Amino acid sequence: MAYRWKNDLTQADVTPKSMFLNRRQLMGGAAGLGLAAAAGGARAQGALEPNTLEEIRTYNNFYEFGTGKEDPARNAGGMVIDPWSITVDGLVDNPGEYSLASLLDGLTEEERIYRFRCVEAWSMVVPWNGFELADILAKVGVKPEAKYVAFETTVQPDVMIGVQRRVIPFPYVEGLRLDEAMHPLTMLATGIYGEPMAKQNGAPIRLVVPWKYGFKSIKSIVRISLMEEEPPASWNIINPREYGFYSNVNPTVDHPRWSQASERKIGGGLFATRQDTLMFNGYEAEVASLYEGMDLNEFY
């Protein structure tokens, strides 16, 4: 089931290791192209310029390691990521504790270049390496009653300063509706730019859901549970008025803290201009049908 969504990339476009720190021009994928053309915006070319590895590794939200953007890079070093196992439970045919290798064994790794939009109104473009979540779910066998997937982040209090300070309740949890989880765009990523995932980016394995605000893309996953009921989601519990369960990128649904109509892409320096935020973060053509008939003002 891999390769259900394609970047408009050839092998030649994949950045040579020596050029990680140089910006490059890449196409945002055929679907992205069509959409951008429809939107008629400044990004009509569909060109996606990935952020540098350094930007991606030094500007992070990972509250387990502190609330400053530079804290995770500074404090995540002590997190133990090897060995790593993931508990798969709930409504699955093959529950159990899987080692990372056994969970991913036999699956196809892909590079996906996605826009990444934080609810704080900044954004990046990230070249992820990883696997379609659907492939992993197929492997563990989803029972027909299952309607949602829940995820949980590791808690290692000894090395997590944010956990010690109880910044928010831990473990961090997130969830998706099953159809969102099975969508071709949804992936579990294990690397960026062909390098193993840095700890501050959610090593060794994290969720990536490019049409939702970044906090949905939960990091350093230790549990995946299939459920019949909507699972709890951390920010939704902390402040339900500000963070909905769906949290789809939507420029027309305003957030009490940040206007969601525009965003600033990281890396533009002191005079970076804002750009308009795209519906579903630019993946409207791919995902809008998931929400047909739903009032997105209510299910924000």
Partner 1 sequence: MQVVGGINTGLRKVPAWLVYLAGLGWAAYLFWLGLSNQLGPEPINTLERLYGDVAIKLLILGLAVTPLRKWPGLNLMKFRRAIGLTAFGFVLAHFLVFAILDVQTLERVWTEIVKRPYVTIGMAGFLLLIPLAVTSNNLSVRKLGGAGWRKLHKLTYAAALLGAVHYLWLVKGFQIEPVVYTALIVGLLLTRIKWSRARAVFA
Nearer to partner 1, 98 or 243 (CB): 243
- Among residues 108 and 262, whose Cβ is nearest to partner 1? 262
Residues at the contact surface with partner 1, assessed by CB under 8 A: 51, 54-55, 58-59, 63, 67, 69-70, 122, 165-168, 238, 254, 256-259, 262, 264, 266-267, 269-274
Q: How far is the CB of 256 from partner 1 (least distance, A)?
A: 7
Q: Which is nearer to partner 1, 55 or 179 (CB)?
A: 55
Q: Which residues pair with 89 in a beta bridge?
A: 225
Residue located via tokens 């989803």: 142
Q: Which helix (H) or strand (E) holds 103?
A: helix 100-104
What's the rounded Cα separation, in Å, for the pair 31 and 33? 5
Minimum CB separation from partner 1 for residue 235, in Å? 8
Specify the DSSP element, H or E, that contains 226: strand 221-227
Least distance CB 55 / partner 1 (angstroms): 4
Closest separation in Å from C-beta 76 to partner 1: 16
Nearer to partner 1, 63 or 98 (CB): 63
Distance between CA 99 and CA 94 in Å, rounded?
A: 14
Q: From 92, 184, 203, select the one nearest 137 (Cα to Cα).
A: 92
Nearest to 137 by CA among 127, 148, 152, 121: 148
Q: How far is the CB of 71 from partner 1 (least distance, A)?
A: 11
> Between residues 118 and 221, which has the closer beta carbon with respect to partner 1?
118
Distance of alpha carbon 271 from alpha carbon 164, whole angstroms: 37
